[in-house]
Every structure is written in C-alpha cells, then in structure tokens.
C-alpha cells in the first residue's frame, strides 16, 4: 500500500535503505524519520495507548505528542516522527501484547466502564492481601515502554556550557529575526529550535510573506530558506537545531536537550519566540489513527513527501484551516471537504481562497460540528452535524486545524504571566521578568506583520540590555510594531469548546488516556480545581507535558464547572517542558581516579586495590601476615601520598594554628613535629594529623586522606577577614609521601642520605629537610604503625625515584612494601585511632582519649567552650581497646551488650597475625571501663564474641620501639 | 538553583561552583553562658528575606567571602570580603562576628 513519494527537497528518493519495525522490513530514503518512513510504507498504528491500549498513529509529526513512541535499538520511548531513520535500526512498538495488531489488553477499551478515573485507588485496594498481585499486574500493563537494564551505559552523554548575550528560543520567523537583529547589534546569540531546521511554520506554507523587507515577495517555503541563509551568514549566531529548550532557570540559564547532549545556555537576556501550535479537536473517536493535526499532515507532505491519506477532511474553526487546506492541495494531498464550525459569514476567509478550494473540488461545510469518527484501526468515517442535518463522510484522513495556541509553557516557567484571552480563545504570555523578552505569536497576535515587527523590537532590545555596543534604532522598531499592530485585521473571534456532541471516547489527554467522561466523573467527585483534577486524572502529566491537552483540559473543566476559562486558570508550568532522558541530564559518566606518583610500582606487583575517595591505594600486596611481619621484624615501605598536605606560613601562622587546635604550636621548636587534632565549635574532633615546624614562620601540616578538602576550607574560613598574616597552600598533589617503618628503617635510610639520621640527631618527633637519593625531602620521625619510622615527603615527580632507592637500599634487610590493610592492623595494635572510624559526629577529644591534647591554660581556641563544658560535665575516655583470644573477629559497628542493654559499639576490629588474637577498639558508653572488664559483643544474630577491655596498646605499650 | 554569585576575585559564576557557608554569625565571648554558645552552634534564623551569608568559591579561587542574598528569590544583592562590607553599613556587627578575630 506504499504510495509514490511527492518530490520534496529533503528526501532523496534515488537512494533507499531498510530498517525493521516489529520484525518487518521498512524501506526508507535519506532524510526520512522513522515515522515518515513508516507512514510512507502504509503503517498507521505505531503504538498502543497508555491505559486502554487503543491503536495510535502519527498526530503532530513534530515530536510534541505521545502517539509515536517506539523502542529503537533497545532505547524505549523514542519519538519516531522526529528520530532520523538509520539503516539497520531495529524498531519495536511499545505497549502492545502479544503484538501491535492483536493486543489483548486493548479489551480494556471495551470495558472502560470498569476502569473509571482513579480506578486503581478505587478498585484494587481491597482485599488488602491481594494488592501485591494487583500491583504486579498493573505494573505489567501500565507505563510506557520498558527500560532494558542490560544495556551497558554508554559514555556518550555530554553536558555543554554555552555563554551568550542573548538566547533566542524558537527558530521560526520571529526567533530568526530576533536573533538576526540582536547579532547585528553585536550581541553573541544562541538560537535554539527543536526542529531539524530553522524556519518554523514558513517551511510548510505557500502563502505569500509580508511585513519584512528581507522576506516580502517570497512565499513561506522560500522565506524559510532565506531566513536560514541570513542566519548562516551571521557569525554572531550559534544555531542549535533538533534541540529542545526544556527549562528556564534562575540566572538566565536555559536547559536544552539535543539527543544525548544537554546544553546549559547562560544568557544575559532570553528571547522567547516559541510561537504557537495546534492541539487536537474534541469529538468521539478523536484519537483514531488517521486523525492528525493539520500541521502534522502538512509536515509529512512538505518535509517528507508522504501523503498521509487519499481523502482528507479538514476540520477547523477559522481561516487557518482554510489556509491549511490550500497548503495541502499545493503540497499534493487531495482534500475532499472542509468543515468549519463557523457560519459562512464569519469564516474570515477571503473569496479568492474560497474560490481556489471550490475549484479544487473541496466541499465547503460551514456552521458544521464534528460529531464523531469511526473506523477499525484507522479512521474510515467522519460524522458531521451540519445545518442541513447529520452527514457522514467516508475519509481516511482528518486534518484538525483549530486555532494555533501560543506556546506559553516556557514563558510561564520563566515567570511571565499567562492570560486567557477570551476574544482569541487562547492563552497568551505577557509581562515577562526583566531578563526575558517575548517575540511573536506567543504574545497572542497571529498577524504576520505584527509578529515580525515584535521580533525586531525584542531582538534589538535584548541586545541593548545585554550590553551589545551596536546601536540599532529602537524607536523606529517600536514605531513599526505599533503601525503593524494598528493595521492588523481584527482577530477572528473564538469558537468555545463544546461538550454538546457527546460520545464515550472523546480524548482530552492522549498520553494518559483521559476522556471527557472521566473528567465529568472527577468533577462530580469534587475535583473542580484544575490542579487537583490534574493530579487525580493525570491529565497533562504524560510525555507531552500538556502540549496536546492542557488547554483542552482547562476548557472542559470550565464547561463542566460552569466557570469561565479565565477563572479556571492554568496548572503550574515546571521544567522539563519536554521529556529529557535521565542519562542526558546526568551527563557524562565520568568517574575520576587519582593515582599516586608511585602507582606504576604498585601496579607491577599486582596488589588488591582499595578506593579511598578518588584515590586508588594498594590494600594487600602479598599477604597481610607477611607484610605485618616485615614491618615488625625487618622494614616495610608504604605509599602515603594520599595524606592531605598543607603549607601554612606567615608571621601569624603559629598563633593561627593555636587558634584552630586544642593544643599549641606557637611553641613548637624548629625541626620538631607534633600530633594535631582539630575540634569544631561544638567540641567535635574533625580531623587529626601532624604539624611540623620547618621555619620560624613555616609549618607543614598533614591531614587525613578524606578530610583534606574540609580541613582546607575550614582553615581558610577562620582565616577569612581575620586580619592574620597567614597563607595556606595545598601541596597534596605536588608531594609524594611514603612511610619507611621497622627496626631496620634507620639502616635503610642511612644508605640513601648523607644526613645524620642517628637517634641523637633525628630522635622521635624530629622533622628535617634533607636530601634523600639526591632529592630534597621533608622527613617526619613519627610512627603510626608503632615502629621506628620516617614519613618522607618528596616532590611527586621524584616519588618513583625515591621509592626505588629505598626499596634497593632495604633489599639487604628484607624490605617489603605493605598495603593499607597491614597498616590498619599495625596501627590497631598500637590503638592509634582513625578519626571518623573510631570517632563519630558526637565525639569530643576527651571522650576520644585525646584529652591530653587539650591545653587548659590557653585563652581561647575553636571549640574551647564546648570542650570545657564537656570536661565540667564529667566527660571521660570512651574509646577503649579490647581483645579476644580467638575468632570470629566481630564486625565493625557490632553492639556490645550487657543484660540486654547496649553499652557500647565496636569501632575497629582485626585479627592480629603478629599477636595471634583478635584486637579492636570500642566506644563504650557505660562502665566499668577498666582493663580486664569482660564484654559481650553481638557479632551477628546467632553468635556473640566475648572479649576483655584493654586500655593500653596491645603492642609495645610503652613506645620503646617507636622511640628507638 | 542556578543563580549567579559574584566572587570578589573571579566575577559572576554559577552557584554550583560555590559552597554555602551558612549565616554570618556573631561568635560569643569565651566566657559567655552555655545557652549563648548553644544558640551560636545550632540555632539559625533562616530569614525569608535578605540575609548575610558566607560563601566559598570551591571550584575557583578557594576564597571565602560574604554575600547578601534574598533567599526567597535567590537574588544576590551584594558580595564583599569579610570585614570590608559592601557599603560600610552594619559592618560593626559583622566584624565582631569574624570567627578568627576574637582569640588566639
């Protein structure tokens, strides 16, 4: 049943290719969309509807309605009317089971009386125990399309940031002219249009254009071409086509979606030239395939060369329908009749146009109402109420050409007013906020000269307000607009929505399958407000987001409640104006990873890795037991480059560090390092690390791996405006760090440095700047793992060099690299706490066993009042070690119970291969806290672990080895 | 939220580049009553009108500054360096709220 294509410039019929639709081959030409190719191949049903599974076919052919959603290569709910056809693509219909033609759920259509509005609230909640069954069934039937979760997320989503003086939304005649005017004045312009090319409705009409010198004398199609040329010649305009502006946000931000790309367009001024669009007419059976918007029929013919039917009937309420009929004839579509709701005298159509239609054999029916449409799978008959009685026309195509309605949703989002204009019978946008301007039909007038003049005014004004230098004559543009508006013919009066024709299948909302009947019941049940009706019926909440149904629903609501359309108002307009895939909104799947300078050395040993923030760290190289043994008995080396490192310097640096900590650093001697723990104003421990004094005004501060950013911000905050002469530099990335630890650490280090590393010259808690393997290094003699140890910081570029030198020097002593897991065990053997693992958001220094840090003689420091209050309230150390002779090792977080009461919680627990027992730390809220107190840990539901408290370190309790 | 905030160094930038630092508060005297300290730590006025706030340019110059913002419409009235003030009005109250200025 495939039809000859009409010759159109956008379709290259000399070449063809195929794709499949529900397994069947479909022939397409370059330039086709999926929808146009299917239409050309005679496929009229593309999907089934949301609730009743009624057959649905092309309606708008502009990507605005829900009627052509298909699954393309596994991606659900793709709009086939705008999605370019690609050779070999696999297209499948949605919402049909077992097949598009024989859909069993469509039986619901016959039993609609049992599926009233809100039916699942009403029907399925009793008996309660059956709800899981009903829910499963409803989820099978409801919804649109199926997401294939097996599809591997691709990495092609992109976010693009664009900056403009003026963003123009809408690439029709008004948008193009506004963009041209703004760019001519020197503004950087971004022009956004959802269609495949600029030109808007000009692309569809053969009507003569008037009102602007650049276009006068051309017909619509030629004018569209001229506009595209003018925009292309203007270097100040960045034009984005196939790009839908879906939201207007604060700060002049426009969100626009182009396939998998989300553009974030930041503009000083936004011109909304969103134009006007048709919506469906209301009559029984108005959703049948073959019943389309007039502009949709024209798009198929003009842009794709496809005749949507052979015997078209145009249904209209004004001259726009007569114009559409003429355009259809010009495009090669045969029109059988036009049915206008007006009386003949009021059609607003000139004699010439009527004469043309008469010559073409188009029957002209005026004062005529559509009563209903019938057909199996496609419209075949249209029933009309004429002054002479009821008529039935045999037809296969109904073009609905009601008055185009201003597209006001984005304007409303941006904060403009919406006003129902009773004379026009449509809602218009007005009074936009100061950074938004309106251009063209969106303001109400459909007079072309007025539309174009208003666009010139808006474009010039936007450029000037955005700061563009070029002087355009604003006053002249304003005068021209006033003249055009005065000269415009009086608008054709509106024909109100009528519910008099009756019928069970008058669809208001084709997305959610809501009919007039259901809205009647909703109003009867008390939902007389448009917003509550929207939520109850889900009208306007489907994929079209109100584009097809909002004004219909409001009109029906007005009729049903006996109020004026103005009183009924509008529902709130929110982003997204158009559905955007979550993947596009989420942006690229970027998952940054940070490697330390020595990463390749680790990778060569193929360790297991652990993620710490963005960092990758070796968890275990060989075995935990072997790595622990190397550190305890010989010497080990661990990469600690992920430690946060801050260079804090300036005359006030010492006093400033005193202010930030419970302990003191202004008295720290040169060449010494001191433990630090920081509290906030609530006396909570935020972070710990070390401070080394490397010069009179120069301190080297280390932080935890994960707390660096927070500590950096915290320190800068207290500095801001304090008047202190201190500067803070984050040197984390520029320094590599490693910890050399074990009884042979000194002997190893001595081999790669000329500096005196003897105990006398570099005792415990010494800090020094020396050359190691020829590289300037900062050495801190500290021992997180409880052995003689050196934390060595070197420029990151030399990290591998120093690592290699130390590994080579330590070879004779049996040096081994050790990972994070061994370090965790070794530190636990010493009961060295990890802030935020062994402490939490309520842990103060005294409770954390860090009370020795708090210098009571300090005047003030951040958190002093809170720590003093805690001390006065009897705070005591709650973090206490425990040990158990065997396994299992209790879970970290496991509760400690006594007589059914929770008295504490395990914060850390490990098996110590060196000690041959389970060791850990617990946050004990109830005493006794003495060493030797037995505790019972709930390991899991079935097992408990019995342990005893041990307040002193399990290993080297007196720190002899540490200070060696 | 997508409003613009003018960093005193970097100029107007998307709010996503910044970290919100809360209301500008007055730090109590060290020997103030515990009730006063508790209010300073935990109680916020969150006014439905213009208020003075701390902001940190996290993805930019990493400097803290202050802003006057109307939270009901996300209108940023002014930004300034802590201690300087936009016009000199009420700087006394803000300066005594300078966190680092009181001790150490």
* Partner residue opposite A250 with nearest CB, options B3, B42, B54: B3
* Partner residue opposite B41 with nearest CB, options A266, A681, A724: A681
- Using DSSP's 3-state secondary structure scheme, residue A262 falls into strand
CB pairs under 8 A between A and B: 91
Q: At what angle do helices A820-829 and A624-633 cross, to 10 degrees?
A: 60
A931-944 b/e with 16+ CB inside 10 Å = b?
Answer: eebebebbbeeeeb
* Partner residue opposite B64 with nearest CB, options A253, A658, A717: A717
Who has greater pLDDT, B96 or A652? A652
CB contact (8 A) between residue B100 and residue A721: yes
Judged against a pLDDT cut of 50, whether residue B7 lies above it is answered with yes
Cα–Cα dist A81/A69, whole Å: 9
Instruction: Tell me the mean pLDDT in the region A912-937.
Output: 95
> In this structure, what token pair is assigned to residue A552?
């219909």
Distances (CA, A) of A822 to A615, A643, A826, A963: 18, 17, 6, 21
CB < 8 Å to B37, chain A? 681, 865-866, 869
Chain B: residues touching A (Cβ < 8 Å): 1-4, 14-15, 19, 21, 27-28, 30, 32, 34, 37, 40-42, 54, 56, 58, 62-65, 74, 81-84, 95, 98-104
Shortest distance, CA B91 to any CA of chain A (angstroms)? 12
Annotate chain B with three-state secondary structure. Answer: CCCEEEECCCEEEEHHHCEEEEECCCCCCCCCCHHHHHHHHHCCCCCCCEEEEEEECCCCCCCEEEEEEECCCCEEEEEECCCCCCCCCCHHHHHHCCHHHCCC
Our CA dihedral for A351, A356, A360, A364, rounded to 10 degrees, sits at -30
* A897 Cβ neighbours under 8 A, 6+ residues apart: A903, A936, A937, A938, A944
Judged against a pLDDT cut of 50, whether residue A66 lies above it is answered with yes
pTM, 2 dp: 0.87
Cα–Cα dist A288/A57, whole Å: 7
Out of A524-528, A652-656, A771-775, B94-98, least confident range: B94-98
Instruction: Dump pLDDT digits (tens) for A395-423.
Output: 999 999 999 999 999 999 999 999 999 98
Q: DSSP assignment of A3-18, as one string?
A: -PPPP-TT--TT--EE
CB < 8 Å to A682, chain B? 41-42
Cα–Cα dist A732/A717, whole Å: 19
User: Residue A132: which pLDDT band, with cuts at 50, 70 and 90?
Assistant: confident
> In this structure, what token pair is assigned to residue A241?
């086509």
Note the pLDDT of residue A228: 98
- Closest CA relative to residue A365, chosen from A400, A298, A313: A313
Shortest distance, CA A661 to any CA of chain B (angstroms)? 10
CB contact (8 A) between residue A720 and residue B62: no
Distances (CA, A) of A143 to A119, A353, A532, A701: 15, 46, 21, 57
Instruction: Tell me the mean pLDDT in the region A710-715.
Output: 95
Note the pLDDT of residue A11: 95
CB contact (8 A) between residue B56 and residue A713: yes
The CA angle A69-A279-A80, to the nearest 5 degrees, is 20
Who has greater pLDDT, A143 or A812? A812
Instruction: Tell me the mean pLDDT in the region A95-105.
Output: 67
Burial class (CB in 10 A: 0-12, 13-18, 19+), A572: exposed
Shortest distance, CA A659 to any CA of chain B (angstroms)? 5
Instruction: Tell me the mean pLDDT in the region A21-38.
Output: 96
Nearest Cα residue in chain B from A654: B104
Instruction: Tell me the mean pLDDT in the region B70-95.
Output: 71
Note the pLDDT of residue A252: 94
Note the pLDDT of residue A501: 86
The label of the residue with tokens 């003086």 reads: A165
Distances (CA, A) of A485 to A179, A403, A449: 21, 19, 8
**Backbone φ and ψ of A137, nearest 5°:** -65, -45
Note the pLDDT of residue B98: 41
H/E element, A593: none
Instruction: Dump pLDDT digits (tens) for A743-776.
Output: 999 999 999 999 999 999 999 999 999 999 999 9
> In this structure, what token pair is assigned to residue A945?
């672990």
Note the pLDDT of residue B86: 67
User: Residue B100: which pLDDT band, with cuts at 50, 70 and 90?
Assistant: very low
Instruction: Tell me the mean pLDDT in the region A722-742.
Output: 96
> In this structure, what token pair is assigned to residue A964?
């060696």
Who has greater pLDDT, A197 or A260? A197
> In this structure, what token pair is assigned to residue A539?
């009208």
Instruction: Dump pLDDT digits (tens) for A626-659.
Output: 999 999 999 999 999 999 999 999 999 999 999 9
Out of A283-292, A302-311, A500-509, A686-695, least confident range: A500-509
A681-708 b/e with 16+ CB inside 10 Å = b?
Answer: bbbbbbbbbbbbbbeebebbbbbbbebb
**Backbone φ and ψ of A899, nearest 5°:** 50, 45
**Chosen from B3, B7, B104 to mutate, greatest number of chain A CBs within 10 A:** B104
Burial class (CB in 10 A: 0-12, 13-18, 19+), B31: exposed
Chain A, window 498-557: residues with a beta carbon less than 8 angstroms from a chain B beta carbon: none
Who has greater pLDDT, A480 or A350? A480
Q: How much is the ipTM here?
A: 0.89
Q: Does A249 touch chain B (CB under 8 A)?
A: yes
Judged against a pLDDT cut of 60, whether residue A561 lies above it is answered with yes
User: Residue A343: which pLDDT band, with cuts at 50, 70 and 90?
Assistant: confident
Cα–Cα dist A922/A884, whole Å: 13
Judged against a pLDDT cut of 50, whether residue B88 lies above it is answered with no
CB contact (8 A) between residue B15 and residue A713: no
CB < 8 Å to A715, chain B? none
CB < 8 Å to A659, chain B? 100, 103-104
Who has greater pLDDT, A592 or A465? A465
The proportion of chain A whose per-residue pLDDT surpasses 70, expressed as a percent, equals 95
Question: Which residues partner with A880 through β-bridges?
Answer: A922
The label of the residue with tokens 């040329």 reads: A229
CA A481 to chain CA mean position, Å? 40
CB contact (8 A) between residue B102 and residue A713: no
Q: Where are the beta strands (DSSP E) in A641-717?
A: 644-649, 673-679, 685-695, 698-703
Out of A36-40, A612-616, A628-632, least confident range: A612-616
CB < 8 Å to A723, chain B? 83, 101
H/E element, A166: strand A158-169
* A38 Cβ neighbours under 8 A, 6+ residues apart: A21, A26, A46, A80
A373 with A379: CB under 8 angstroms? yes
User: Residue A125: which pLDDT band, with cuts at 50, 70 and 90?
Assistant: low
User: Residue A123: which pLDDT band, with cuts at 50, 70 and 90?
Assistant: low
Q: DSSP assignment of A867-921, as one string?
A: HHHHHHTT----EEEEEESSSPPPPTT-EEEETTEEEEEEEEEEEETTTTEEEEE
- Closest CA relative to residue A184, chosen from A456, A427, A378: A456
Note the pLDDT of residue A472: 78
Nearest Cα residue in chain A from B58: A713
Instruction: Dump pLDDT digits (tens) for A137-195.
Output: 666 666 667 777 776 555 567 889 999 999 999 999 999 999 999 999 999 999 999 99
Note the pLDDT of residue A108: 66
Cα–Cα dist A256/A577, whole Å: 10
CB contact (8 A) between residue A720 and residue B64: yes
- What is the pLDDT of chain B when averaged over all its residues? 83
Instruction: Tell me the mean pLDDT in the region A915-926.
Output: 96
Judged against a pLDDT cut of 90, whether residue A97 lies above it is answered with no
- Other Cβ atoms within 10 Å of A856 Cβ, number: 9
Out of A56-70, A572-586, B87-101, least confident range: B87-101
Question: Which residues partner with A312 through β-bridges?
Answer: A335, A397
- Closest CA relative to residue A246, chosen from A499, A578, A568, A585: A578
Nearest Cα residue in chain B from A247: B2
CB contact (8 A) between residue A869 and residue B37: yes
User: Residue A346: which pLDDT band, with cuts at 50, 70 and 90?
Assistant: confident
**Chosen from B74, B100, B101, B103 to mutate, greatest number of chain A CBs within 10 A:** B100
Note the pLDDT of residue B91: 36
Shortest distance, CA B51 to any CA of chain A (angstroms)? 19
CB contact (8 A) between residue B104 and residue A719: no
Question: Which residues partner with A908 through β-bridges?
Answer: A921
Note the pLDDT of residue A498: 80
User: Residue A587: which pLDDT band, with cuts at 50, 70 and 90?
Assistant: confident
Cα–Cα dist A613/A634, whole Å: 31
Note the pLDDT of residue A448: 95
A83 with A38: CB under 8 angstroms? no
Instruction: Tell me the mean pLDDT in the region A909-922.
Output: 96
Note the pLDDT of residue A957: 95
CB contact (8 A) between residue B63 and residue A716: yes
* A705 Cβ neighbours under 8 A, 6+ residues apart: A612, A613, A615, A642, A643, A644
* Partner residue opposite A864 with nearest CB, options B3, B30, B83: B30
Note the pLDDT of residue A199: 97
Judged against a pLDDT cut of 90, whether residue A102 lies above it is answered with no
Judged against a pLDDT cut of 90, whether residue A493 lies above it is answered with no
- Other Cβ atoms within 10 Å of B19 Cβ, number: 18
User: Residue A610: which pLDDT band, with cuts at 50, 70 and 90?
Assistant: very high
- Closest CA relative to residue A371, chosen from A325, A319, A318, A315: A315
Shortest distance, CA B29 to any CA of chain A (angstroms)? 9
CB < 8 Å to A866, chain B? 37, 41
The proportion of chain A whose per-residue pLDDT surpasses 90, expressed as a percent, equals 82
CB contact (8 A) between residue A869 and residue B21: no
Judged against a pLDDT cut of 70, whether residue A126 lies above it is answered with no
* Partner residue opposite B2 with nearest CB, options A250, A721, A865: A250
CB contact (8 A) between residue A720 and residue B4: no
A238 with A162: CB under 8 angstroms? yes
Out of A532-541, A900-909, A944-953, least confident range: A532-541
> In this structure, what token pair is assigned to residue A394?
């045999």
A736 with A799: CB under 8 angstroms? yes
């Amino acid at each position: 049943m495939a039809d000859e294509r009409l010759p159109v410039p956008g379709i290259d019929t000399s070449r063809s290719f195929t794709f499949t639709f529900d397994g069947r081959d479909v022939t397409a030409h370059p330039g086709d969309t999926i929808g146009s190719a299917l239409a050309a191949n005679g496929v009229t049903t593309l999907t089934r509807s949301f609730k009743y599974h009624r057959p649905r076919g092309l309606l708008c052919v502009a990507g605005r309605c829900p009627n052509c959603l298909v699954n393309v290569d596994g991606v659900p709910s793709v709009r086939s009317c705008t999605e370019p056809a690609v050779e070999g693509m696999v297209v499948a219909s949605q919402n049909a089971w077992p097949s598009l033609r024989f859909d069993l759920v469509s039986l619901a259509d016959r039993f609609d009386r049992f599926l009233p509005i809100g039916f699942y609230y009403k029907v399925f909640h009793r008996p309660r125990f059956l709800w899981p069954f009903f829910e499963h069934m409803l989820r099978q039937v409801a919804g649109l399309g199926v997401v294939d979760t097996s599809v591997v997320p691709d990495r092609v989503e992109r976010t693009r940031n664009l900056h403009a003086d003026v963003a123009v939304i809408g690439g029709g005649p008004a948008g193009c002219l506004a963009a041209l005017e703004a760019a001519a004045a020197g503004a950087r312009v971004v022009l956004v249009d959802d269609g495949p090319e600029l030109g808007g409705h000009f692309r569809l009409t053969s009507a003569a254009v008037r009102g602007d010198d650049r276009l006068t004398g051309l017909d619509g199609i030629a004018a569209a071409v001229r506009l595209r040329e003018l925009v292309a010649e203007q270097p100040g305009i960045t034009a984005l086509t196939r790009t839908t502006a879906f939201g207007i946000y604060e700060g002049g931000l426009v969100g626009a979606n182009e396939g998998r790309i989300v553009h974030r367009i930041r503009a000083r001024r936004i011109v909304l030239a969103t134009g006007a669009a048709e919506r469906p007419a209301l009559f029984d059976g108005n959703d049948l395939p073959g019943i389309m918007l007039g502009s949709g029929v024209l798009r198929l013919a003009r842009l794709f060369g496809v005749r949507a039917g052979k015997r078209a009937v145009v249904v209209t309420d004004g001259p726009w329908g007569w114009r559409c009929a003429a355009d259809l004839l010009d495009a090669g579509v045969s029109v059988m009749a036009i049915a206008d709701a007006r009386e003949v005298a009021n059609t607003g159509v000139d004699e010439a146009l009527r004469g043309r239609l008469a010559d073409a054999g188009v029957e002209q029916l005026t004062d005529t109402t559509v009563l209903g449409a019938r057909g199996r799978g496609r419209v075949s008959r249209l029933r009309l109420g004429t002054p002479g009685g009821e008529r039935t026309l045999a037809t296969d195509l109904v073009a609905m050409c009601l008055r185009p309605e201003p597209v006001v949703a984005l304007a409303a989002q941006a904060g403009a007013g919406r006003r129902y204009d009773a004379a026009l019978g449509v809602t218009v946008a007005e009074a936009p906020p100061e950074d938004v301007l309106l251009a063209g039909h969106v303001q109400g007038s459909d007079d072309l000269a007025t539309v174009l003049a208003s666009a010139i005014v808006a474009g010039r004004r936007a450029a000037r307000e955005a700061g563009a230098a070029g002087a355009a004559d604003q006053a002249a543009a304003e005068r021209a607009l006033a003249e055009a508006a005065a000269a415009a013919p009086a608008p054709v009066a509106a024909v109100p929505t009528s519910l008099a024709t009756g019928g069970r299948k008058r669809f208001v909302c084709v997305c959610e399958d809501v009919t007039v009947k259901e809205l009647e019941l909703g109003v009867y049940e008390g939902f007389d407000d448009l917003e509550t009706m929207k939520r109850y019926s889900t009208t306007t909440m489907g994929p079209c987001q109100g584009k097809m149904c909002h004004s219909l629903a409001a009109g029906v609501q007005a009729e049903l409640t006996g109020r004026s359309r103005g009183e009924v108002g509008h529902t709130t307009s929110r982003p997204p104006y158009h559905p955007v895939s979550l993947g596009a909104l989420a942006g690229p799947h970027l998952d940054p990873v940070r490697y330390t300078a020595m990463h390749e050395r680790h990778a060569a040993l193929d360790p297991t890795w652990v993620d710490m923030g963005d960092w990758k760290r070796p968890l275990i190289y060989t075995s935990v037991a072997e790595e622990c043994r190397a550190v305890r008995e010989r010497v080990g080396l661990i990469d600690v480059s992920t430690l946060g490192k801050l260079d804090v310097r300036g005359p006030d640096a010492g006093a400033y560090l005193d202010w930030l900590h419970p302990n003191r650093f202004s008295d720290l001697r040169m060449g010494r390092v001191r433990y630090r723990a920081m509290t906030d104003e609530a006396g909570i421990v935020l972070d710990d690390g070390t401070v080394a004094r490397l010069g009179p005004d120069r301190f080297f501060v280390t932080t935890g791996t994960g707390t660096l950013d927070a500590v950096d911000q915290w320190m800068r905050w207290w500095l801001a405006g304090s008047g202190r002469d201190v500067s803070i530099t984050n040197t984390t990335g520029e320094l590599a760090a490693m910890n050399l630890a074990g009884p042979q650490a000194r002997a190893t280090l001595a081999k790669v440095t000329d500096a005196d590393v003897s105990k006398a010259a570099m005792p415990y808690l010494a800090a020094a700047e020396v050359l190691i393997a020829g590289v300037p290094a900062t050495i801190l003699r500290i021992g997180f793992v409880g052995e003689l140890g050196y934390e060595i910081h070197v420029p990151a570029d030399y990290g591998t060099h120093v690592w290699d030198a130390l590994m080579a020097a330590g070879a004779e002593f049996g040096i081994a690299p050790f990972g994070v897991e061994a370090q965790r065990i070794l530190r636990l053997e010493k009961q060295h706490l990890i802030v935020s693992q062994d402490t939490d958001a309520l842990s103060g220094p005294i409770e954390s066993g860090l009370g020795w840090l708090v210098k009571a003689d300090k005047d003030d420091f951040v958190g002093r009042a809170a720590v003093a209050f805690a001390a006065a309230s009897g705070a005591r150390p709650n973090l206490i070690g425990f040990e158990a002779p065997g396994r299992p090792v209790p879970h970290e977080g496991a509760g400690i119970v006594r007589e059914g009461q929770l008295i504490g919680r395990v914060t850390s627990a490990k098996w110590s291969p060196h000690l041959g027992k389970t060791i850990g730390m617990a946050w004990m809220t109830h005493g006794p806290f003495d060493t030797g107190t037995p505790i019972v840990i709930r390991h899991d539901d079935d097992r408990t672990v019995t342990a005893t408290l041990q307040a002193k370190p399990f290993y080297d309790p007196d720190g002899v080895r540490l200070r060696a | 939220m997508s409003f613009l905030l003018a960093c005193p160094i970097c100029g107007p930038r998307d709010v996503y580049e910044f970290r919100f630092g809360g209301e500008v508060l007055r730090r109590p005297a060290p020997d103030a009553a515990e009730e006063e300290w508790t209010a300073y730590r935990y109680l916020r006025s969150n006014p439905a009108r213009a208020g003075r706030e701390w902001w940190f340019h996290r993805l930019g110059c990493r400097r803290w500054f202050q802003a006057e913002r109307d939270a009901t419409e996300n209108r940023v009235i002014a930004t300034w360096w802590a201690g300087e003030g936009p016009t000199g009005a009420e700087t006394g109250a803000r300066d005594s709220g300078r966190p680092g200025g009181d001790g150490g």
